[in-house]
């Protein structure tokens, strides 16, 4: 029996898988194969006597001379400058203030999809039709990109958790680099459905840590931190909303703001802050992710600078242990328990000037599983406030005054 077409059940996930298109049955032969009478004769190439490689002695000599000359003259000649280097968009992406319409045009952000595939909700982002495709309006792209950059910066400056998601082929390095710049988290493989709506089951076992305002890990309340509910991002940047419908739906259910790259065939209402742009070009997506990464970097820098001055850019976290527990703390916790809301001035001056975000290590993790745990690790950031004040040693203990409820009960 010859199985001509293996038709898989048309599940939605299977359809999303990249696989070879079906070969029409009229192209496949129905007869058994017949061997041709003569196989392709392999004729050995005639070898010149004397030389084994087929080159004459003068040619070999000339070649050697050429190689030698190349070596000698290598340092001379003109230097190539201003050439296009595809890596540069990943290595050193521009800041939001450096984005120009020319740059957007060169990065192909204006190219939309075929006119027949458009989502009419995007009509206001479209400049016109050219050669059968929609052309996106670059001034709108720039405006929306700057607005989104502002959001990323503000959220990062307030110590929010940002998650960069780009699950298309080839977007891995872009996403990782953007997250690295912004001190954020990244996802380049499949979003596990339920990571937000059923986070406690899926991510509950992941590691969490507590950090102070200078992003240094603080070892206190270790049991409480371990039992802390699974964390949720404060902002999700999605580079391919078409493939991540589930993620965006979950963000909607959990009330998480989202930023998305909206091509002419995507639904602009699926995200909070759409950026009308081409999402198929790696260069376009790289530019957008890079700009947002730079914005996040600026936000993180601002937050750390404020922390150096002794200001917190976010609300202080409630203590994780109840008042009764504080009354008899374990000896290990004793020095740290001198926590207060006094100004951590001394701590600020004593703190190292340039603190690498603790999250960065998690960010550069390659595997998807590490990915999700990194989201979890983010709890460090959320919990960071209290630890900060722990640094300020000389102040009266005021823990008892504060409420003991867990700050996050969104589920």
Judged by CB under 8 A, the chain residues 203 through 242 that form the site for other proteins are 234-235
- Binding flag, residue 83, other proteins (CB under 8 A): yes
Quote the CA–CA distance of 53 and 55 in Å, as a whole number: 6
Quote the CA–CA distance of 186 and 204 in Å, as a whole number: 18
> Is the Cβ of residue 63 or residue 369 nearer to other proteins in the bound state?
63
Sole binder of other proteins in the list 51, 97, 100, 114 (CB under 8 A)? 100
Instruction: Report, in Å, the least distance between residue 36 CB and other proteins.
Output: 8
Find the binding residues for other proteins in span 25-44 (CB under 8 A): 36-38, 40-41, 43
Q: What is the DSSP letter of 345?
A: H
- Binding flag, residue 375, other proteins (CB under 8 A): no
Laid out side by side, the sheet with 185-187 consists of: 185-187, 162-165, 235-238, 258-262, 273-276
Of 8-16, 60-68, 172-180, 211-219, which part binds other proteins (CB under 8 A)?
A: 60-68
Quote the CA–CA distance of 215 and 384 in Å, as a whole number: 7
Quote the CA–CA distance of 399 and 337 in Å, as a whole number: 9
- Binding flag, residue 251, other proteins (CB under 8 A): yes
Q: What is the DSSP string of 200-269?
A: HHHHTTS---EE-TTS-EE--SHHHHHHSPPP--SEEEES-TTT-HHHHHHHHHTT--EEEEE-TTS-GG
Residue among 375, 379, 359 at smallest CA distance from 187? 375
- Binding flag, residue 345, other proteins (CB under 8 A): no
Binding-site residue total for other proteins (CB under 8 A)?
A: 72
- Binding flag, residue 77, other proteins (CB under 8 A): no
> Is the Cβ of residue 130 or residue 309 nearer to other proteins in the bound state?
130
- Binding flag, residue 197, other proteins (CB under 8 A): no
Instruction: Report, in Å, the least distance between residue 272 CB and other proteins.
Output: 5
Of 24-32, 156-164, 216-224, 356-364, which part binds other proteins (CB under 8 A)?
A: 156-164
Find the binding residues for other proteins in span 302-321 (CB under 8 A): 314-315
Q: How many CB atoms lie within 10 A of CB 60?
A: 12
- Binding flag, residue 134, other proteins (CB under 8 A): yes
Instruction: Report, in Å, the least distance between residue 256 CB and other proteins.
Output: 7
User: Maximum Cα–Cα distance for the chain, whole Å?
Assistant: 99
> Is the Cβ of residue 140 or residue 370 nearer to other proteins in the bound state?
140
> Is the Cβ of residue 103 or residue 242 nearer to other proteins in the bound state?
103
Of 211-219, 253-261, 364-372, 387-395, which part binds other proteins (CB under 8 A)?
A: 253-261
- Residue 71 burial (10 A CB sphere; 0-12, 13-18, 19+): exposed
- Binding flag, residue 155, other proteins (CB under 8 A): yes
Residue among 226, 243, 282, 256 at smallest CA distance from 111? 282
Instruction: Report, in Å, the least distance between residue 44 CB and other proteins.
Output: 13
The first and second tokens of residue 288, run together, are 């957008």
Sole binder of other proteins in the list 91, 124, 205, 309 (CB under 8 A)? 124
Compute CA distances 369 → 166, 203, 232, 366, 381, whole Å.
Answer: 15, 10, 16, 9, 20
- Binding flag, residue 46, other proteins (CB under 8 A): no
Sole binder of other proteins in the list 78, 255, 330, 353 (CB under 8 A)? 255
């Amino acid at each position: 029996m010859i199985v001509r077409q293996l038709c898989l059940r048309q599940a939605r996930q299977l359809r999303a898988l990249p696989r070879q298109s079906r070969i029409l049955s009229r192209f496949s032969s129905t007869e058994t194969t017949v061997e041709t009478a003569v196989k392709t004769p392999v004729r050995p190439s005639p070898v010149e006597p004397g030389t084994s490689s087929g080159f004459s002695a003068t040619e070999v000599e000339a070649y050697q001379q050429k190689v030698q000359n190349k070596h000698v003259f290598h340092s001379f000649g003109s230097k190539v400058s201003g050439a296009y280097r595809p890596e540069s968009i990943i290595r050193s992406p521009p800041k939001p203030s450096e984005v120009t319409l020319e740059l957007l045009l060169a990065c192909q952000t204006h190219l939309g999809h075929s006119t027949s595939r458009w989502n009419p909700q995007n009509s206001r982002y479209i400049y016109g039709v050219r050669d059968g495709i929609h052309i996106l309006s670059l001034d709108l792209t720039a405006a929306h990109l700057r607005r989104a950059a502002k959001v990323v910066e503000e959220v990062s400056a307030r110590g929010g958790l940002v998650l960069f998601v780009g699950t298309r082929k080839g977007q891995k390095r872009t996403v990782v680099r953007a997250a690295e710049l912004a001190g954020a988290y990244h996802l380049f493989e499949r979003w596990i459905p339920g990571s937000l709506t059923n986070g406690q089951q899926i991510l509950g076992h992941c590691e969490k840590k507590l950090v102070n305002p200078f992003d240094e890990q603080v070892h206190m309340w270790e049991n409480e931190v371990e039992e802390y509910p699974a964390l949720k991002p404060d902002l999700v940047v999605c580079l391919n909303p078409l493939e991540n419908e589930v993620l965006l739906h979950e963000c909607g259910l959990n009330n998480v703001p989202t930023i998305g790259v909206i091509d002419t065939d995507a639904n602009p209402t699926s995200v909070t802050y759409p950026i009308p742009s081409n999402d198929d070009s790696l260069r376009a997506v790289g530019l957008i992710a890079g700009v947002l990464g730079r914005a996040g970097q600026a936000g993180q820098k601002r937050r750390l600078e404020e922390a150096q001055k002794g200001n917190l850019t976010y609300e202080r976290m409630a203590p994780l242990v109840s008042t009764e527990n504080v009354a008899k703390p374990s000896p290990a916790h004793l020095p740290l328990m001198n926590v207060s809301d006094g100004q951590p001035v001394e701590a600020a001056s004593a703190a190292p000037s340039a603190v690498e975000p603790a999250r960065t290590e998690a960010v550069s993790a390659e595997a998807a599983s590490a990915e999700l745990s990194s989201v979890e690790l983010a709890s460090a950031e959320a919990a960071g406030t209290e630890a900060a004040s722990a640094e300020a040693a000389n102040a009266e203990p005021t823990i008892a005054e504060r409420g003991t409820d867990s700050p996050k009960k969104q589920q």
